[in-house]
Amino acid sequence: MIAALLLLALAQQQPRDSTPPEAYYGVTEWRAARAKLEPLMEARGFTVYIIGDMEGLAAAVRNATEMRPPERGGGPDHARFRLELTDEINAVIAGAREAGATQFVVNDGHGGTLFRNTLPDRLDPDAILIRGYPKPIVMSTGLNPGVDAIFIVGAHANAGTAGIISHSFAFDSFTVNGRVLNEAGIAAFIGGEMGVPLALASGDHVLTAETREMLGPIETVTTKIAMSRSAGAGFAPARVHAELKTAAARAVRRVRAGALQPLHLSRPYQVRFCMRRSYDPWFVGQVRALRGVRPDGGDRCFAYASSSAEDVGDLLNRIEWIVLKP
C-alpha cells in the first residue's frame, strides 16, 4: 500500500506537457483538413459522413475494460468492440447505399485508442476512413458543405444523465445560445452551419431520446436500455445491424426529400461550458489560458463567443488536446 502511494505521489510530481495546440501540426488546422477532403466529394452523388463512437454500441457497458485496449488501461474485450463498431458502420453504409448514397466518409470518433478503433480491413471498401490523432475538430474532421448527411453510430448520452458511460467531451455541461448539446448535437451544430443535417444517431435509449429532443425527429436506433451508467439490457448485434441498415436507408430518403433539415442557431454563438469535476486544477488552468475563453461562474465554468461553428469545434479540439496529451 505504501509503495503504491509513493508511486502515485511520484506520478503526480511528473511535469505536465504544456505544449500549446498551435505548436503541434494537425491540432488546429481545420481549414486545411476541410480543403483536403472537399476535392474528394462527389458533386453529383450523395455523400454520408459517418462518425463512429463506441460507448453506444450494442452490448457495450463498461468504459474501463471495453472502450480501450490493455496498453491504454483497458482489456482484451476492446478487440471485440472494435469489430462491433466496424460492423455497425458497415450496416449503415449498406442501408444508405440501398437508398441512393454513393460516397461514405467514416471518421473514427472514439478517443480510447486515440481514434484508431475501426478495423480498416473489415470496413466497407467504398469508405474513406479518417483515423488517428491529433486531427482537427476531432469528431468532425474535414466535414464540408459537399457532404449531404451526417450519421453518428455508437453514440452515448450527455454528461450528467443516466445513460451508459454518459459524458460529453471534457465537459460536465455544454450549451450554445443556452441550448444543451450532447456530442451528436455538437456535430449537428457544426454541420448545420454548412447546410448538412445530422440524420441518424444510434446508442442507448437515453441517447436516442435526448438527441431527438435536441434535433427533432431524426432517425434513431436504440441499441440497449440503460439500467445504470455501467449496465443495460442490450439487443443482439444482428438485430441492431438490421435496424441500422433500415434506419440509414430511411435517413437518406428523408434528406433527399427535404424532410430532415440542418440545425441552425443564431450568430454570434454564445458558448458556455463547465469542465469535468474529475479534472485536477492543472487542466482547468490550461483551458482558462486559451484565447477567447473567459470565466463564467465558478472556477470550472467558462464562456466563449464566435460567429463560426467550426471555430467552436476548434476550441473543443484545443481542450481535447490538453486532456489527451499529458
Task: Give Cα 110 to chain centroid, integer Å.
Answer: 7
Q: What is the rounded CA–CA span in Å between residue 27 and residue 317?
A: 7
Q: Are 196 and 49 in contact (CB under 8 A)?
A: yes
Ordered by start, the domain boundaries in the chain are 23-265
User: Would the pLDDT of 275 be above 70?
Assistant: yes
Kindly list the distances between the CA atom of residue 226 and the CA atoms of 45, 81, 89, 293, 305, in Å, as whole numbers in the listed order.
Answer: 38, 18, 22, 35, 35
Domain 23-265 annotated CATH 3.40.50.10780: yes
What are 171-186's pLDDT values in tens digits? Answer: 999 999 999 999 999 9
Question: pTM of this prediction?
Answer: 0.94
CA dist 1 → 6, 13, 281 (Å): 9, 19, 26
102-140 per-position pLDDT tens digit: 999 999 999 888 999 999 999 999 999 999 999 999 999
Q: What nine digits make up the cell of 171?
A: 465537459
For position 71, what pLDDT does the model report? 85
- The DSSP bridge pattern shows strands 219-228 and 231-234 to be antiparallel
Contact 119, 82 (CB under 8 A): yes
pLDDT at residue 286, as a whole number: 95
pLDDT of residue 12: 53
